[in-house]
Amino acid sequence: PHTGPVESKNEAAMSELVPEPRQKPVVPMKPMGINANLLGYIGIDTIIEQMRKKTMKTGFDFNIMVVGQSGLGKSTLVNTLFKSQVSRKSSGWNREEKIPKTVEIKAIGHVIEEGGVKMKLTVIDTPGFGDQINNENCWEPIEKYINEQYEKFLKEEVNIARKKRIPDTRVHCCLYFISPTGHSLRPLDLEFMKHLSKVVNIIPVIAKADTMTLEEKTEFKQRVRKELEVNGIEFYPQKEFDEDLEDKTENDKIRQESMPFAVVGSDKEYQVNGKRVLGRKTPWGIIEVENLTHCEFALLRDFVIRTHLQDLKEVTHNIHYETYRAKRLNDNGGLPPMTAETEENHESNL
């Protein structure tokens, strides 16, 4: 009879030491009727579409410069490249009329629209390069023009109240026209490319390639490539700016096989096998501009517009402009010099 109270005491002590087991929280059931695949989808892939819509609204800027001797067909080639009279302002200009000679550095802007995409194209046409008797430092006006566009962009960029979208007049691409001599580059060509390759993307082009036979053309291209390499001239696409293996493989092929592009330009259309084609009429037939067996114009157009246009712009901004900007700000203690005009802008901004 005396064991009862002792047991009850032990039980009470045990219950104090051992806590009562807690109830597990109730896990809500997975909602029925929701597709398991849908739960894994976030929508990151729509970013490309968002970017596309935004750039479609704002449009693109592209500024192309043509440099070379008089009579190499610089203006004609740019017209052929964009299939419109972009190197001349006169809208009433007739295809049959002869293109007037370029006598000054002239930037002509156009808005080209294709498939809903707008592009503000500026063609910078330069007068015949190296036509004078004394050609000493004759590349300076062209170099000055390129640097002026960088300066203009920099001044806009360092403004206190700067524009949301700075107008871009910087030269993204410079087509350098090589005379189809079949021999070698002139010292003037080498000197120009040596100076300008540091400030702009240079794409060498052999003009009027129909004046050479196919064998002469191949040999001349190889000679030009070798001369550029020996003289340490970097043309676009530059080796050090290849971002990955895919870019390197693609650009190596262009550098070793296509450069410099041997091209023929024409504003005139002819009927060939029931089709209208751009071409040049000769006593022995019609040279079709867009036919790869006749010339490399189609390769040049695809390279400049279809595959590398955005990269040309990025290299201009990230390499050439950054080099100019760093040097300019470093030389000047951080800011461009205050002129009367910039001082007025500065005060009005304040």
Q: Whole-angstrom Cα distance, residue 228 to residue 116? A: 40
Task: Give the per-residue pLDDT at 263.
Answer: 86
For the chain, which domains are there? 58-332 (3.40.50.300)
66 pLDDT more than 60: yes
Q: Whole-angstrom Cα distance, residue 149 to residue 144? A: 9
- Average pLDDT for 239-256: 82
Report whether 272 contacts 286 (CB < 8 A).
yes
More reliable by pLDDT, 101 or 291: 291
Task: Tell me the three-class secondary structure of the chain, residue by residue.
Answer: CCHHHHHHHHHHHHHHHCCCCCCCCCCCCCCCCCCHHHHCCCCCCHHHHHHHHHHHHHCEEEEEEEECCCCCCHHHHHHHHHCCCCCCCCCCCCCCCCCCCCCCCEEEEEEEEECCEEEEEEEEECCCCCCCCCCCCCCHHHHHHHHHHHHHHHHHHCCCCCCCCCCCCCCCEEEEEECCCCCCCCHHHHHHHHHHCCCCCEEEEECCHHHCCHHHHHHHHHHHHHHHHHCCCCCCCCHHHCCCHHHHHHHHHHHHHHCCEECCCCCCEEEECCEEEEEEEECCEEEECCCCCCCCHHHHHHHHHHHCHHHHHHHHHHHHHHHHHHHHHHHCCCCCCCCHHHHHHHHHHC
Q: Could you tell me the pLDDT band of residue 319, with boundaries at 50, 70 and 90?
A: very high
**Lowest-pLDDT range of 101-115, 145-159, 250-264, 305-319:** 101-115
- Average pLDDT for 197-201: 90
Residues 6+ apart with CB under 8 A from 243: none
Task: Give the per-residue pLDDT at 209.
Answer: 83
- Average pLDDT for 86-92: 51
- Average pLDDT for 162-191: 86
**Lowest-pLDDT range of 111-120, 128-137, 252-261, 289-298:** 128-137
**Lowest-pLDDT range of 103-112, 131-140, 168-177, 235-244:** 131-140
89 pLDDT more than 90: no
Tally of CA atoms within 13 A in the half-sphere of 132 that contains its CB? 9
Residues 6+ apart with CB under 8 A from 207: 68, 72, 73, 74, 77, 177, 178, 179, 180, 263, 265
- Average pLDDT for 201-205: 92
What pTM does this model have? 0.75
Task: Give the per-residue pLDDT at 160.
Answer: 82
Give the strand pairing for 285-288 and 117-125: unpaired
Q: Could you tell me the pLDDT band of residue 93, with boundaries at 50, 70 and 90?
A: very low
14 pLDDT more than 60: no
Residues 6+ apart with CB under 8 A from 172: 62, 63, 64, 201, 312, 313, 316
Task: Give the per-residue pLDDT at 38.
Answer: 55
Q: Could you tell me the pLDDT band of residue 188, with boundaries at 50, 70 and 90?
A: confident
> Using one digit for the tens of pLDDT, what is the confidence trace for 18-49?
556 666 666 566 555 555 555 667 788 888 88
Task: Give the per-residue pLDDT at 49.
Answer: 85
Highest mean pLDDT: which range of 38-47, 188-197, 297-306, 311-320:
311-320
